[in-house]
Amino acid sequence: MSGSRFRYGAWRDGPDPLAPPYDVRAAVDEVGERVLGGESLHDALRDLIRRGPRDGRGLDDLRARAQRLRRDALRRGNLDGAVTRARQLLDQALAAERDELRGRGDPFREAVLDNLPRSTSRAVDELSGYDWASAEARGLYQQILAGLRREVVEQRFAGLREALGDPSAEARVAEMIGDLNDLLRRHARGEDTGDAFARFMARHGDFFPERPASVEELIDSLARRAAAAERLLRSLSPQQREELSRLMDQALGGGPLRDRLAELTENLRALRPGLAWGRGERVRGPGDLGYGDAAAALGEIGELDELLDQLSQEHSGATLDDVDVEAVERQLGRDAADDVRRLRELERELRRQGWVTRDEQGLTLSPKALRRLGRTALARVFDDLGGRRRGEHDLRDAGAAGDLTGSSRRWHFGDEQPIDVVRTVGNA
C-alpha cells in the first residue's frame, strides 16, 4: 500500500494565514514619529492608512492602480461599434442582393435598393418588409437585428447567452423579466420580499449565474449593468445615439420584451438613484467596440469611479468599512482586496487595544497612545544625546533661541537642545 503524496507551494487563497498580525505598537510609534516631525495627529493617522504601514501597501497605492485602470478603459476603443457593425452587414447584404439581381431585370427591387435612406437604422427599417431575392443577403440582414438583440439582452443578464440561442426561449426571457419587475415593485413598496425572492430564484435562477443571496444583491448587480447601458447612450454623439436607439428598438421588436426591459430600467433607476445613470465618457481607441463590450467598458469606469471615491476617504465620517471589498477584488484583483482587509484589521486592532478612538472627526489617539508617544519622544531625545556627558553636546545655535542663560523651564513641543537631562529624568 503506497503512502499518501503531498505537494507544497505558496499560499494562494487570500492573506497568508501564518503571517504575523500587524504590530500595532510599531504603527503607533510610526504615528508618533510623524507627529514629532511636525504633522498633526489627524494627518498622521490618516497618512498611516493612506500610505500603509512600513511593511504593507495603503489606500494611495490602490487609488493609483484604479486610476491607471480607468485611463486604460478610456482608451479601449470606439463606442459606436454596434452601429458600425450594422452598417457593414447592411452593405454586405445590399452587395449580395445586387449581384443576385444583376441580369434579372427586376426594376422594382432595384428601385427599392437605390432609394434607401443614408441612415443605417432607417434603411434597416425600410427593408423590414423587403422580399430578398438572395438567400445570402437575407441571412446577412437578419444578423443585424438578431445579433444586436442578443448583445442587448446579454448585457443586462449574464446568464442569457444560452437561453437566447433558442428562439422559443425568448418567451421565457420575457416572462422572467415580468416576474422580476413584479418583485422589484414589491420591494420598492417596502414589502417583505424574502419568500418572493426565494421563489423567483427557484424558478429563474439559471439566468443569474452569480447567484445573488438577497434582493439587494440582485438589484446591485442589475442596476450596475442598466446604468452602464444608459451611460453608453449618453457617451455617443446625438446622431450616433439616435441611430443606436432606433436599431435597438427594431431589434427588440414590438413584443413584451422591449416594454419589460424599459420598465426594468425605470425600476432599477428608482431603487439605485445614486449610480451615474446619465454621465457620458469620452472613450476612444483604435478599434470598434460592440454593444456589450462598450457597455462593459463604461460599467468598469463607473465602478472604478465609485472605488476612487471610497478609497479617497475624504468625506466626513469615512471609514475603511465604506470600501466595497468585492468591487476592489473585481477591478483590482485579489491581492488588492487582501490589502484592504489588512488595513481594516489594523484599524480594528488599534481600536480594540485602546490605541485610538473614533469620533465625528475620525480617528484620534487615545491617552494610552499619547503616553507611548511621549515615551517615544523622550527616547528619541536621549538617542540624539548619544550618551555623552552633560555639556559635551555641540551647540552652534545663535541668537535668542541659542543663548545659554543658566535658567530652565518646562519642555514645550518643538523645543530643541539644550536640555537639562537630570531634571528631565527626575520629572519622569
Give me the residue spans of the domains in the chain.
81-282
pLDDT at 2 over 70: no
Q: Residue 11's pLDDT is what?
A: 58
> What local confidence, expressed as pLDDT, does residue 4 receive?
65
Q: Is the pLDDT of residue 267 over 70?
A: yes
319 vs 297: which has the higher pLDDT: 297
Helix axes 59-74, 291-312, angle to 10 degrees: 160
pLDDT band at 241 (very low <50, low <70, confident <90, very high): very high
Task: Determine the Cα–Cα distance for residues 287 and 304; give it in Å rounded to an integer.
Answer: 22
Residue 390 has pLDDT above 70, yes or no: no
Distance CA 61, CA 74 (A): 20
Nearest to 288 by CA among 36, 140, 150, 84: 84
Cβ atoms 21, 340 nearer than 8 A: no
Q: Can you tell me which residue has the cell 435598393?
A: 113
Q: Is the pLDDT of residue 414 over 80?
A: no
**Mind spelling out the 3-state secondary structure of the chain?**
CCCCCCCCCCCCCCCCCCCCCCCHHHHHHHHHHHHHCCCCHHHHHHHHHHHCCCCCCCHHHHHHHHHHHHHHHHCCCECCHHHHHHHHHHHHHHHHHHHHHCCCCCHHHHHHHHCCCCCHHHHHHHHHHCCCCCHHHHHHHHHHHHHHHHHHHHHHCCCCCCHHHCHHHHHHHHHHHHHHHHHHHHHHCCCCCHHHHHHHHHHHHHHCCCCCCCHHHHHHHHHHHHHHHHHHHHHCCHHHHHHHHHHHHHHHCCCHHHHHHHHHHHHHHHHCCCCCCCCCCCCCCCCECCHHHHHHHHHHHHHHHHHHHHHHCCCCCCCHHHCCHHHHHHHHCHHHHHHHHHHHHHHHHHHHCCCEEEECCEEEECHHHHHHHHHHHHHHHHHHHCCCCCCCCCCCCCCCCCCCCCCCCCCCCCCCCCCCHHHHHHHC
253 falls in which pLDDT band (50, 70, 90)? confident
What value does the mean pLDDT of the chain take?
82
Question: b or e along 311-331 (b: 16 or more beta carbons within 10 Å of the residue's beta carbon)?
Answer: bebeeeebebeebbbebbbeb
CA distance 306 to 324: 9
Confidence (pLDDT) at 399: 47
pLDDT tens-digit profile of 367-381?
A: 777 777 777 666 666
All three cell numbers of 357:
478612538
pLDDT value of position 357 = 72
Per residue in 29-39, pLDDT tens? Answer: 777 777 777 77
Segment 169-215, tens digit of pLDDT = 777 888 899 999 999 999 999 999 889 999 999 998 888 888 899 99
User: Is the pLDDT reported for residue 96 higher than 90?
Assistant: yes
pLDDT value for 19: 57
**pLDDT tops 80 at residue 152:** yes
Q: How far apart are CA 89 and CA 141, in angstroms?
A: 7
**110 pLDDT more than 50:** yes
